[in-house]
Amino acid sequence: MDGRKLVRVQERGQVTLPAEFRKRMGLKKGDLVAVFETENGVLITPQEVVATNVLNRIGEALKEKGLSLEDLIESGREERSRLLEEQHGLSSPD
């Protein structure tokens, strides 16, 4: 099965995704999807999947550098404290 379905483009560019696709993808009215142009056409992806993929790539990049998300958060706190002290003479409430 190639999963191909024909749908009609409406007057304002709307395309209705077949119900079976929406059900398999867990899409409901009001959900966001990301639309990407590819060499072969258009790819429609649930937005949460896109966000998850981006976060996974960030996690992989941190791991390659020998860092963790906790390391990144802690370095952000340290930088914030340094900037508060340097720019405003304030101590961080941490």
Spell out the long-range contacts of 63-71 with Cβ–Cβ below 8 A and sequence spacing 24 or more: none
Q: Letter for the amino acid at 5?
A: K
For the record, the structure tokens of 13 come out as 């560019």
**Domains contained in the chain, CATH given:** 1-67 (2.10.260.10)
Residue 2: the pLDDT is: 66
Residue 92: the pLDDT is: 59
Euclidean distance between the first and final Cα of the chain, in Å? Answer: 57
Return all residues near 42 (Cβ < 8 A) that are at least 6 apart.
35, 36
Residue 94: the pLDDT is: 54
Q: What is the per-residue pLDDT across 16-70, written as a single tens digit (0 to 9) for each?
A: 999 999 998 889 898 889 899 999 999 998 887 777 778 888 888 888 988 887 8
Alpha-carbon gap, residue 60 to 29, rounded angstroms: 33
